[in-house]
Amino acid sequence: MKLLTVFAFICATVFLIVGTFAVLHGVYGSPVPSPAPEPSPDADPKPKADPEPEPEPSPDPEPLPEPAPEPLPEPAPEPLPEPLPEPAPSPVAEPSPNPVAEPNPNPSPVASPMMPQPMLLSDKLDANFVALSASPDPAPAPAPAPAPAPAPAPFPAPLPAPSAVALEPMGYPGSLDDLVPDSIAEALPN
Geometric angle at alpha carbon 177, from 174 and 183, rounded to 5°: 145
Structure confidence at residue 156 (pLDDT): 76
How far is residue 89 from each of residues 39, 72, 95, measured CA to CA in Å? 72, 50, 13
The rounded percent of the chain whose pLDDT value lies above 70 is 31
pLDDT class for 130, splitting at 50, 70, 90?
Answer: low
Residue 2 confidence (pLDDT): 87
Judge whether 185 and 179 are in contact, CB under 8 Å.
no
**Contact between 96 and 102 (Cβ < 8 Å):** yes
Question: Could you report the per-residue pLDDT of 133-150, keeping only the tens digit for each?
Answer: 555 666 777 788 888 887
Higher pLDDT, 143 or 163: 143
Greater confidence (14 vs 62) lies with: 14
CB 181 within 8 A of CB 187: yes
pTM for the structure as a whole: 0.19
Q: pLDDT value at position 6?
A: 95
Rg of the chain over Cα atoms, rounded to whole angstroms, equals 51
